[in-house]
């Protein structure tokens, strides 16, 4: 986050209304970019698939599943994203680059195990879908949880 803050300060140093607007747009895109892209993607899939598949119930089931996957993965990893982004920013400021990758891999392992256990419990208790559907939902959930962390990590690294 420190890198983003430095970039925002540079934009705001111009001291104009357009610079302030630019800074707000930049901060908004950085903080909500993955979420907005997810919503737009799900909406486009729903619009494109209307009328193409015979059972609309399958389209609805897919859209609901994807929505819950994205929401749950963002909620589960949101706090960890903040802590890890702060950690990475501090290591970048201290020029201790060799500590970043091992910690990223550790966080990804922790998220993979946590999301996998949570997903197995929830899918085993609450879903009555076929096994292949549950396995695919579990795999997507774990990948999404890891993806949000990597996206946040890469956007923070871009500032440097």
Query: Which tens digit of pLDDT belongs to each residue from 48-74?
Result: 887 776 677 778 888 888 888 988 998
pLDDT at 159: 56
Instruction: Tell me what the mean pLDDT of segment 104-127 comes to.
Output: 93
Instruction: Tell me what the mean pLDDT of segment 98-118 comes to.
Output: 93
Mean pLDDT score across all residues of the chain: 83
Q: Which of 121, 105, 133, 27 is nearest to 72 (CA)?
A: 121
What is the pTM assigned to this prediction? 0.72
**DSSP string covering 130-151:** -HHHHHHHHHHHHHHHHHHHHH
Query: Which is more confident, 95 or 53?
Result: 95
């Amino acid at each position: 986050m420190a890198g983003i803050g430095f970039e925002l300060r540079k934009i705001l140093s111009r001291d104009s209304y357009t610079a302030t607007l630019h800074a707000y747009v930049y901060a908004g895109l950085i903080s909500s970019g993955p979420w907005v892209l997810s919503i737009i993607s799900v909406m486009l899939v729903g619009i494109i698939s209307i009328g193409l598949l015979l059972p609309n119930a399958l389209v609805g089931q897919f859209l609901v599943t994807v929505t819950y996957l994205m929401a749950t993965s963002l909620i589960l990893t949101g706090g960890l994203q903040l802590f890890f982004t702060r950690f990475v920013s501090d290591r970048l400021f201290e020029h201790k680059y060799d500590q970043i990758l091992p910690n990223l891999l550790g966080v990804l392992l922790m998220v993979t195990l946590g999301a996998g256990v949570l997903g197995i419990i929830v899918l085993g208790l609450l879903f009555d879908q076929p096994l292949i559907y549950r396995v695919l939902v579990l795999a997507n959930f774990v990948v999404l949880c890891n993806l949000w962390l990597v996206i946040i990590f890469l956007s923070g690294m871009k500032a440097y």
